[in-house]
Amino acid sequence: MEAEGLDWLLVPLHQLVSWGAAGAMVFGGVVPYIPQYRDIRRTQNAEGFSTYVCLVLLVANILRILFWFGRHFESPLLWQSIVMILTMLLMLKLCTEVRVTNELNVKRRFFAAADNQDEEIKLPPRRAYLDFDPHHFWHWSSFGDYVQCVLAFTGVAGYITYLSIDSALFVETLGFLAVLTEAMLGVPQLYRNHRHRSTEGMSIKMVLMWTSGDTFKTAYFLLNGAPLQFSVCGLLQEQLGCAQQPWASAQAPRV
């Protein structure tokens, strides 16, 4: 009797919690990139952030959306992918603009130091997606080139999915590819930090939010019965997030 009397409170409360968890899933994934975005914009230096993180997340979320057509999963997870793709494009736009501006400023300082004001300042060579130069892959001079690459990948992957959508093996493989790619998102940043022996320019808040977000995400997957691929992805991301933290702690400025 008491339980029935509390239904008027428990049912709306449960629904409110469900809506909150769904909203956190949709927008929570992009929150770690807000401090990094602000740091890059404030310092006008994008060297500390690996744009290959954007590449990994773009590929992973495009594949995840295609996986949805073969095996429907919860709508919040689908919307999370759409929001993440838009966020990564914004990150790429900022990083590209900052890098190109800095390259031009370096040229100007070089000519000023050499007292060659009479000579015309040559712009840095333009690197484009359609050059098909593997040495400059994902280091192009225009944001439009990144958009072209993303659209081309989406078109090819979408066409292959359309042809193979009736194959259960293909659909399940596509799902695993999507989440395993996403699970590797920390690898480019970890490699960049190891190569430079420094985390300068990388937002420590971003790394900490990666780990806490992955923990929440994994719990959400398990509690809501998401496909196995998602739970595997969450667990792998947690491990990689933990691997980033010693680097961040070691390089953090002492106060």
* pLDDT tens-place string over residues 66-98: 999 998 888 888 999 999 999 999 999 999 999
Q: What integer pLDDT is reported at residue 252 of this predicted model?
A: 47
- From residue 52, give the alpha-carbon distance in Å to each of 55, 153, 184, 185: 5, 15, 11, 8
| SS3 per residue for 171-225 | HHHHHHHHHHHHHCCHHHHHHHHHHHCCCCCCCHHHHHHHHHHHHHHHHHHHHCC
204-223 and 2-28 helices, crossing angle to 10°:
140
Q: What integer pLDDT is reported at residue 254 of this predicted model?
A: 39
* pLDDT tens-place string over residues 214-235: 676 667 667 766 666 666 666 6
Mean pLDDT by 10 residues, the chain (255 residues): 57 70 79 90 90 94 94 87 95 94 69 52 69 83 93 97 95 89 81 76 71 68 68 64 52 43
* 253/245 Cα distance (integer angstroms): 14
List, in order, residues 6 or more apart from 99 with CB less than 8 Å away.
Answer: 46
Residue 190 corresponds to which amino acid? L
Q: What integer pLDDT is reported at residue 102 of this predicted model?
A: 86
Q: What integer pLDDT is reported at residue 151 of this predicted model?
A: 96
Residue with tokens 């594949």: 63
Q: What integer pLDDT is reported at residue 22 of this predicted model?
A: 73
* 232/179 Cα distance (integer angstroms): 8
